[in-house]
Amino acid sequence: MSNLSEFIGGGIKSVQSFTTSFPNVLPGDQAPVDVTINAIDTAKSFVCVRRYQSSTDDINKYFIVEIMDSTTVRVTLIRNGFDGDNGIISWTVVEYY
C-alpha cells in the first residue's frame, strides 16, 4: 500500500492559506477572482478547499479553485440557483519537495 510520502516526496515545503469573498453573485453568473500567491512549483503543488460559507442555503452553486501559474490561483463561484448569493471560500495551496 502506498503512503503519502511516496507521492509528495520529502515533505511539505510551504503552505499558503487564503479567503476569497464573492459579492452578490446572481444566477447564471460566473465570478472568477484571480489571487496572487507567493511563487510555487506548479508541478509540486495542489489546492485544498477548507470551507465555504454562503448567505443562502441554495445548493445550486459550485466553485472551482485552480492553479493558473506559479503566482496565480483562480477561484470561481458559479451560480445556477434562483437568488443572489454572497460567498466566502477558504482555501490553501500546499507545495511539497
What's the confidence (pLDDT) of residue 85?
59
Q: In the predicted model, is pLDDT for residue 79 greater than 80?
A: no
Domain encompassing residue 36: 9-96
**CATH at 36:** 2.60.40.2080
Tell me if 50 is assigned to some domain. Answer: yes
CB-based contact 33:79 (threshold 8 Å)? no
What's the confidence (pLDDT) of residue 29?
67
pLDDT tens digits, 30-77 = 668 899 999 999 999 999 987 766 666 555 567 889 999 999 999 987
Tell me if 86 is assigned to some domain. Answer: yes
What's the confidence (pLDDT) of residue 25?
65
Which residue would you say has higher pLDDT here, 94 or 54? Answer: 94
